[in-house]
Structure 1
Amino acid sequence: MCKLMWVNNEQYQLQKNVEQAGSFLSHFTLDQVHRVTKFHHTYEKFNITPLRSLKAFASLVGVENVIVKDESFRFDLNAFKVLGGVYAIGRYVADQLGRDIDIDELSFEQLKSEEIKEQLGDLIFISTTDGNHGRGVAWAARELGFQARIYMPAGSAEERLQNIENEGAYAEITTMNYDDTVRYTSQLAKENGWIIVQDTMWEGYEEIPLWIMQGYTTLVKEIVEQLDEAPTHVFLQAGVGSFAGAVVAFLQQYYEQEITFVLVEPYVANCYYESFKAGTEQFVTVGGEMQTIMAGLACGEPNPLAWELLKTYTKVSICCDEEVAATGMRILGHPLATDQRIIAGESGAAPVGCFYELMTNRQYTELKDTLQLDENSRVLFINTEGDTDVENYRNIVWHGKYATI
């Protein structure tokens, strides 16, 4: 099997798609993102994560610059996901109080007050996760004085389970894949009156996933404030598409120039690749066990809102094998010359691995030409997670597991 499979999105920026997606962009305007960021900044330990310029790596592969936003520093939780979870839970708590978190300018500290806890009682938040999202939900629930129950798909790392339990939540690894576990937790929420906090949507469950997506935009606002000039290309991890959709929606509006967006997924969970390949208005789902080291991307059903955005503005969708993600981890973990080291987990490094492969392997010359990657390209990546599974990180980066043959 090839290391990469790719499909050119034939629906790319068709007028009818742009018109359909236009209404969704309003959720990710600069004003809205500013309100989200303002709430995040009310957390007393909030810090902006670094943006790294890897000039030596860029020179090696023949582009102007490679830029990496490093979310492994976010809230000391080693991943970006907490941004979505804490904003969504904050919005929910504010709504239960009959207030608007943005208009009333409620702070993190106000929402965690004993007075509010007494008004609302013992709320329980429930979620499905491979690790990062659930840890963020567990952290946010605990910090605001509530409880969390987190369920993980089969094959999840014990270390990620332990990290969630360390945040004070009940956590359990199921025998189901990610999408079936989402359905299971949804049923538990209905039966017990718990509040489900999930970053994918289905009919009747749209509000909280939108808040989660909006929560992610704080990191994108940081990026545009840290950059000197706009990127020409952005490689994004897919999963259910919520993160990628939020990034695309904001950048598409913020910069008055065309940006080439590329999605990256594992072979075994390539719902966006299959959806673009099908060339239909509706997305395609994939099933099965979906066992991959890219656990954060092991999702087979797109978020419908993210699909509307990504089918409109994404140029190419790529799915890759385990070796590609492992290569990305080693590239970032062992930088060239004066480039700074970045500790990236499997999902965090997959887009960098894909980029390196298509830039250095003649087998993908057509893909490189399609994306118009050349000496004028400024390519942006977001390292969505650090070494959230330390043992596997060490096996890959130290011991050469999933080495390219």
Structure 2
Amino acid sequence: MHHETWYDRPAARRWTCGPAPAGVREFHAGLAGYAPTPLTEVPGLAWPLGVGRLLVKDESNRLGLPAFKALGASWAIHRILAARPGNDPVRLVTATDGNHGRAVARMARRFGQRAHVFVPEGVHPAAVAAIAAEEARVTEVAGDYDEAVRRAAEAAEEPGSVLVQDTAWPGYEETPGWIVAGYSTLFAEIDEQLGTPDLVVVPAGVGSLAQAAVIHYRSGSAPVALMTVEPESAACVLASLRRGAPVSVGTGDTIMSGLNCGTPSSLAWPYLRDGLDAAVAIGDDDSAAAARELAGHGVAAGPCGAASLAGARVALTGDGAAARRAALGLGPDATVVLLSTEGPDANPAL
């Protein structure tokens, strides 16, 4: 493994923070179609990684969509609408590389609102079509994800519009905070399905899901190790951790389109800096191979979802693995949870 593709901070397990807000799980439980997603044990993958148990949190069908993003979008839109006086309709504006925009569009329709979604270059046409099928207005941007976010923020300044973005920057943090809080339901389900694992592996784009993981596990008493996984072509969290300050990186093409983000969320950054044990970057070939392997074990994962298995393999095996395992505090009986954040339907590029 290249030194530049790994970071660890074992002191993270001693850092603590406050919990996620109350009431999120109850809100989700009241939505039509809610059910906890499966936590599937895959014994055939545990032995090659040198751990006792390996389980996959399968987000391939979350509230009728093929990714976890509906958790954050639904809670944030609920909070936005609850805070608005009267019943005037609102246009919900966002930028996306696929799953978040589709979730905002679906939840906007469910709550009787309109959606306008900005999509950067490189998103597969089928993913764009899926957003449009939710009756959203779609604007394709000649630029990368960060440019799409800029355009969406600009459009949301129009009267009757609200930005529902899953990344934060100084001055825009309340709504991204609601989105992160929405993700807390996923970890509450893991508590009920398993208890406390030894390691949780989280695919990271701008870092919002990883922030939710840190909040959940660092507000309790159990020293759970947390590791993020990113594409080598868009490893903004890893680069920021290595620098000790948030940095933007240029992004390239990757099959992990939902992770193709160049700038960490300003809201997530302090939690990632202080609460993550490790970060790793992987190549497209690693992700594609992991998706095939998960499929062979009956777990349907897209390339972003499979990134967690690929990252675990890079971290826990190969040259230098003993030191990396020690940094994560993992023995041979460890229980590892992989977050498979999307199904194959969420990424038609494969």
TM-score scaled to structure 1, two decimals?
0.82
Aligned equivalent of 1:283: 246
Q: Structure 1's 362 and 66: CA in aligned 2 closer, same or farther, altered over 3 A?
A: same
* d(CA) in 2 for partners of 1:192, 1:298: 31
* d(CA) in 2 for partners of 1:3, 1:297: 21
* d(CA) in 2 for partners of 1:346, 1:14: 28
User: What SS class does the counterpart of residue 243 from structure 1 fall into?
Assistant: helix
* d(CA) in 1 for partners of 2:144, 2:9: 27
Give a deviation string over 1:226-267, Cα, whole Å, max 9, x none.
Answer: 11x41111111111111110122112223x221111111111
Amino acid aligned to 2:233? V
1:82 and 1:136 in contact (8 A); partners too: yes
- The answer as to 2:213 corresponding to 1:251 is no
Give a deviation string over 1:273-323, Cα, whole Å, max 9, x none.
Answer: 111211x3x311213x43211111111111122111111111111111111
**How much is the aligned-residue C-alpha RMSD, in angstroms?**
2.1
Amino acid aligned to 1:361? G
Match of 1:304 among 266, 273, 281: 266
> 1:2 offset after TM fit, Å?
5.3
Amino acid aligned to 1:345? G
User: What SS class does the counterpart of residue 388 from structure 1 fall into?
Assistant: helix
Which is further off, 82-91 or 44-53? 44-53
* d(CA) in 2 for partners of 1:244, 1:373: 20
2:101 and 2:117 in contact (8 A); partners too: yes
Match of 2:337 among 358, 380, 404: 380
Aligned equivalent of 2:40: 52
Match of 1:242 among 208, 233, 257: 208
Amino acid aligned to 2:68? F
- The answer as to 2:312 corresponding to 1:347 is no
Give a deviation string over 1:87-141, Cα, whole Å, max 9, x none.
Answer: 10111111114xxxxxxxxxxxxxxxxxxxxx42231001001110001000000
Aligned equivalent of 1:187: 154
Amino acid aligned to 2:140? I
Aligned equivalent of 1:80: 68
Aligned equivalent of 1:92: 80
Aligned equivalent of 1:43: 31
Alignment of 1:320-335 (within 5 A): 320-335=282-297
Alignment of 1:3-402 (within 5 A): 5-9=5-9, 12-13=11-12, 18=15, 22=17, 25-26=18-19, 28=20, 32-33=21-22, 35-97=23-85, 119-227=86-194, 229-254=195-220, 256-278=221-243, 280=244, 282-287=245-250, 289-335=251-297, 341-362=298-319, 364-389=321-346, 391-393=348-350
- Where in structure 2 are there 5+ consecutive unaligned residues? none
* d(CA) in 1 for partners of 2:171, 2:314: 41
1:9 and 1:311 in contact (8 A); partners too: no
* d(CA) in 1 for partners of 2:247, 2:270: 13
Amino acid aligned to 2:234? A
Q: Computing the radius of gyration over CA atoms, which structure comes out larger, 1 or 2?
A: 1
2:287 and 2:303 in contact (8 A); partners too: yes
Amino acid aligned to 1:7? Y
* d(CA) in 2 for partners of 1:176, 1:274: 22
> 1:49 offset after TM fit, Å?
0.9
- Where in structure 1 are there 5+ consecutive unaligned residues? 98-118, 336-340, 394-405
Give a deviation string over 1:15-58, Cα, whole Å, max 9, x none.
Answer: 8xx4xx73xx24x1xxx24x011111111221111111112211
* d(CA) in 2 for partners of 1:58, 1:244: 23
* d(CA) in 1 for partners of 2:269, 2:346: 29
* d(CA) in 2 for partners of 1:204, 1:305: 10
Q: Structure 1's 321 and 4: CA in aligned 2 closer, same or farther, altered over 3 A?
A: farther
* d(CA) in 1 for partners of 2:49, 2:8: 22
> 1:4 offset after TM fit, Å?
8.1
Amino acid aligned to 2:35? N
Report how many residues are paired.
350
Amino acid aligned to 1:259? V
* d(CA) in 2 for partners of 1:379, 1:204: 37
Q: Structure 1's 149 and 321: CA in aligned 2 closer, same or farther, altered over 3 A?
A: same
* d(CA) in 2 for partners of 1:74, 1:147: 21
Give a deviation string over 1:349-393, Cα, whole Å, max 9, x none.
Answer: 101012123434236444334334331211111111001356533
* d(CA) in 1 for partners of 2:82, 2:347: 37
User: What SS class does the counterpart of residue 59 from structure 1 fall into?
Assistant: helix
User: What SS class does the counterpart of residue 75 from structure 1 fall into?
Assistant: coil
1:348 and 1:385 in contact (8 A); partners too: yes
* d(CA) in 2 for partners of 1:166, 1:88: 21
User: What SS class does the counterpart of residue 228 from structure 2 fall into?
Assistant: strand
* Percent of paired sites with the same residue: 34
User: What SS class does the counterpart of residue 291 from structure 1 fall into?
Assistant: coil
User: What SS class does the counterpart of residue 157 from structure 2 fall into?
Assistant: helix
2:211 and 2:268 in contact (8 A); partners too: yes
User: What SS class does the counterpart of residue 76 from structure 1 fall into?
Assistant: coil
